[in-house]
A and B are shown apart, each in its own frame.
Chain A
């Protein structure tokens, strides 16, 4: 029972980590290696709003979501737009950007165990005989809500449909009058906000540390690759796969192996089926 409950929570957390990355890659084929950095950055931003400017928790959250979205949009508009389509340059530029943000935060003194965010609701509740605190339950609820809302957004609104059109066939979308750069900008802003949302939900469970940025990036990539780069529903399913696999290894092998599972999942998936378990196979683009 414990495995089932904590597996679900872990999976929801992974889905939250990965959705932003999956969204940006799905729409604009842009591997956003600064994802983990945006995650940590928004954590510190909320902390700053909350403790230094002494704003209301709710207001700080909203401000952080907006600010991170704007940062994402600015990054796209001023940097990434110049190198779109050159895959390797994209990877290196976004990675360098993430590195600059993370190490800049570390240099700015944001390190150690002193930075924590308060839980939304403290306390815990018994679920089928297992004690779970409210924050962890909220992660599952918010994770489910975000997936649901994204589904509604991409199926029933003009902008969501435009994003999906871009993801499926950029050239056809262009012919139908969808502005490719604007949509990519929107996707980048949304993806960054999703990273911020994940940070706000998950960081109250522990400390805000710079190192988390690298781990979040690896986990997000793991989920997206196993699910198939660019496939959103695949990412959600893969989150459950990896989430449960991680909890099982923690229970039976030890906590050290948690990241090994994620990395092994990436390597094995890429070798056997580069388009992921749920992605569409595009044989010639991926391998010779």
Chain B
């Protein structure tokens, strides 16, 4: 557009359908209804169709892994942007869930579809219990201590040579078919994605955001901060543990590499790229980042360099992320006006 700057300026206007707040809409027509539902349906249908359209086992496996990372990314996003606990130790949840599922499967002979929910709940309880002493910590202190938990677990397993030591636990059942595997993990992602979105818009979500923004005010209102943080950590670690349990059944193996930094860093990178504080952005970030990282597998560790650089670039130059940018473009229109 050839507009002289100086005489014109660009203005952004909200589309008329939005009134007052994010959650309240006045729908007048099918067009407006579809305006709201199409983005959500696109994500749901897209994810459900994904296993059907992809060529070959390899890319279906990639989608499963991407979904596991997506579970971790939702858990990170939820804790960091709705409760104010920046947890750099997502790998701790994965490892706990993974080992629990492995033990339940090999020692008690439970089938995968029983071990996964069981490992999620037991693992979440265990993680919450272990993280309980650190919950009063704030900001950078909680970030560092949570970063150390998976490393610590890794070294302890190595040093004490428990749980199979460095070899890990072998001989775990796989899913009965790859369709069960695919739709379990995709179902879990969609369930948790829309579940947490619902949760943060309920009353308890308001309290959790209060804990993030001004915990003293929450305390002054007579509410127990630690109780709410515990609840939030339980929910988030349940997601992480479920990811770990599914991962163990996919690889039929559980080992100390499940405490590795990959599981802590990639979800964070995906959240930053997708858009912090949007939850859906975290999922989209994973669906972009994991396939790219698979494509770069031939280059060995260069792919880690690659996503580290992307992460750094987004943090420093584009900290809002893709989805927030997309939402702005979708909900507002721009036009030039004469000054």
The chain A residues found within 8 Å of chain B, CB to CB, are: 31, 79, 82-83, 87-89, 91-93, 95-97, 99-100, 103-104, 106-107, 218, 221, 225, 254, 256-257, 259-260, 263-264, 266-267, 270-271, 274, 285-288
Decide: A254 near B148, CB < 8 A? Known: A103-B302, A271-B134, A288-B219.
no
Q: Closest Cβ of chain B: how far from A256's Cβ, in Å?
A: 4
Q: Are B315's CB and A267's CB within 8 A?
A: no
- B165 to A: closest C-beta gap in Å: 10
Neighbouring B residues of A96 by C-beta, 8 Å: 265, 269, 308-309, 311-312, 315
- Which B residue sits closest to A79, measured CB to CB? B316
Cβ contacts under 8 Å, A99 to chain B: 265, 304-305, 308
Among B138, B219, B311, the residue within 8 A (CB) of A287 is B138
Question: Who on chain A is nearest to B269 by CB?
Answer: A96
CB-defined A-B contacts under 8 Å, sample of 14:
A31-B140, A31-B144, A83-B316, A91-B140, A92-B268, A99-B265, A99-B304, A99-B308, A100-B304, A100-B309, A103-B301, A104-B302, A107-B301, A267-B145
The total number of A-B Cβ pairs within 8 Å is 122
Bound complex: CA of A93 vs CA of B312, how far in Å? 5
Q: In the docked arrangement, what's the CA distance between A226 and B268, Å?
A: 27
Minimal beta-carbon separation of B287 from chain A (angstroms): 20
Assembly CA distance A101 to B152 (angstroms): 24
B54 to chain A, nearest CB (A): 29
> How many angstroms between the C-alpha atoms of A19 and B150 in the bound complex?
25
The answer to whether B152 touches A264 (Cβ under 8 A) is: yes
- Nearest Cβ in chain B — how far from A44, in angstroms? 15
A263–B148 CB distance below 8 A? yes
Q: A91-B88, A103-B305, A288-B219 are in contact. Are A260 and B138 (CB under 8 A)?
A: no
Residues on B with C-beta less than 8 A from A264 are 152
Closest to A92 in B: B315
* A218 proximity list for chain B (CB < 8 A): 148, 151
Q: Determine the distance from Cα of A118 to Cα of B90 in the docked complex, in whole angstroms.
A: 40
- Taking the closest CB of chain B, its distance from the CB of A248, in whole angstroms, is 15
The chain B residues found within 8 Å of chain A, CB to CB, are 80, 86, 88, 133-134, 136-141, 143-145, 148-149, 151-152, 155-156, 158-159, 215-216, 219, 225-226, 265, 268-269, 272, 299-302, 304-305, 308-309, 311-312, 315-317, 319
Contact of B315 among A93, A257, A271 (CB under 8 A): A93
Q: Which residues of A contact B136 (CB under 8 A)?
A: 287-288
Instruction: List 10 additional contacts besides A91-B140, A288-B136; criterion CB under 8 Å.
Output: A31-B144, A92-B268, A92-B315, A99-B308, A100-B308, A100-B309, A103-B301, A104-B302, A106-B301, A287-B136
Inter-chain CA distance A270–B131, complex, in Å, is 12
Q: How far is the CB of B272 from chain A (nearest CB, A)?
A: 7
CA distance A100 to B312 in the complex (A): 9
Give CA–CA (A279, B305) in the complex, Å. Answer: 36
Instruction: Tell me whether A267 and B156 are in contact in the complex, defined as CB-CB below 8 angstroms, given that A91-B88, A274-B141, A287-B136 are known contacts.
Output: no
Interface of B is mostly: helix
Ordered nearest first, which 4 A-B pairs have the shortest CB separation?
A256-B159, A100-B308, A103-B304, A287-B136
The complex places the Cα of A88 from the Cα of B271 at a distance, in Å, of: 13
> SS class of chain A's interface: helix, strand, loop or mixed?
helix
Q: A96-B309, A99-B304, A288-B215 are in contact. Are A107 and B156 (CB under 8 A)?
A: no
A82 and B316: CB pair below 8 A? yes
Instruction: Return the contact of B311 from the options A92, A257, A266 (Cβ within 8 A).
Output: A92
Q: How distant is the Cα of A225 from the Cα of B148 in the complex, in angstroms?
A: 12
Chain B contacts for A260, CB-based, 8 A = 152, 155-156, 159
| Minimal Cβ-Cβ distance residue in A for B304 | A103
- Tell me the minimal C-beta distance from B314 to chain A in angstroms: 10
B152 adjacent to A263 (CB under 8 Å)? yes
Which residue of A has the minimal Cβ distance to B218? A288
B316 in contact with A88 (CB, 8 Å): no
Whether the pair B140, A87 counts as a contact (CB closer than 8 A) is yes
Give the complex CA separation of A99 and B311 in angstroms: 11
> Which single member of B155, B315, B317 contacts A263 (CB below 8 Å)?
B155
Tell me if A266 and B144 are in contact (CB < 8 A).
yes
Q: Please, which residues of chain B bring their CB within 8 A of the CB of A91?
A: 86, 88, 140, 143-144
Known contacts A88-B80, A263-B148: A100-B305 contact under CB 8 Å = yes
Bound Cα distance A266, B133 (Å): 13
B138 touches A92 (CB 8 A): no
Contacts of A259 in B (CB 8 A): 151, 155
Q: How far is the CB of B35 from chain A (nearest CB, A)?
A: 34
Q: Who on chain A is nearest to B311 by CB?
A: A96
Q: Once the chains are docked, how many angstroms separate the CA of A47 from the CA of B80?
A: 42
